[in-house]
Amino acid sequence: MIILKPGDNLLGIITGSVDYYISYVDLKGFESGNTMDSLTTTLGETILLYSPNEGVRQVKYMSFRTASSGTLSLLFRTNTGQGIVKKIFYQCDVEAGDIVEYTSDEGFRVKNSIGSVKTDTNNNTNTFGAKVLGQSNPLATTLTTLYTTPADKNTYCTSIVVANRSAVATTFRVAVRPSGAAISNEHYLYYDIPINGNDTFTATIGITLSQTDIVSVYATLATLSFNLFGQEI
């Protein structure tokens, strides 16, 4: 999932002209939908989408129809306060008439001019693929790191699953520690949540983590398995 925070811009490096369409929502207390439709014939970097002034902007869908062969690259430009940092997160070779699509659920795919999905033979890079972020079977009554956001990424956590492998009921906790801070009461997302024996707790959490943020877990008994899923940006 592609998330833009204040200070981020989504750009493209296009060889040749391209029609593009972007659909996104702004998340700030309430959800509001917006769309963008445009055409660019400029070679080099072209800003496709700006970040919001407040909250976050979630890209739901993108489509690029190319007019010529070449390489299509998408990158983030982030203002770190110490200068602009740019990083390519998707790149593919295209032919005239190809369509490159992105959806927040499935990521990127390339279609030819008649709509057939092309085989990925170009070492395409998609850093937004959903994956297992962390798995842990913590010791009893021990706060344990489930996942640490890499120093060069942001992470969108989609869901967490807790499985009780024992017939004995127990409880668990989940916390987010910004920048690896020492645990404090305000960090907890779940606190002493009961889970029955041989039961599973599943939650769609939809939170965004910044660099070096840590997700920590805690189990009253050493019989719980924690799985965190999401996407690294």
CA–CA separation, 113 and 103 (whole Å): 19
pTM: 0.55
Per-residue pLDDT of the chain (233 residues; tens, 9 = 90+): 687 877 777 777 766 678 888 888 887 655 555 555 555 555 567 778 888 877 788 888 888 888 888 888 888 877 666 667 777 778 788 888 889 888 887 788 888 877 777 765 444 444 455 689 999 999 999 999 999 999 878 888 888 999 999 999 999 999 999 999 999 999 999 999 999 999 999 998 878 888 899 999 999 999 999 999 987 87
> Domains plus CATH for the chain?
2-126 (no CATH), 131-232 (2.60.120)
pLDDT at 227: 97
Give the dihedral sign, CA 27/29/33/39.
negative
CA–CA separation, 121 and 93 (whole Å): 9
Who's near 187: CB < 8 A, 6+ residues apart? 175, 176, 177, 178, 181, 216
Q: Would you state the structure tokens that stand for residue 214, as one six-digit string?
A: 């840590």
Who's near 36: CB < 8 A, 6+ residues apart? 21, 22, 23, 24, 48, 49
Q: How many CA atoms lie within 13 A of 97 on its CB side?
A: 7
pLDDT at 210: 86
pLDDT at 126: 46
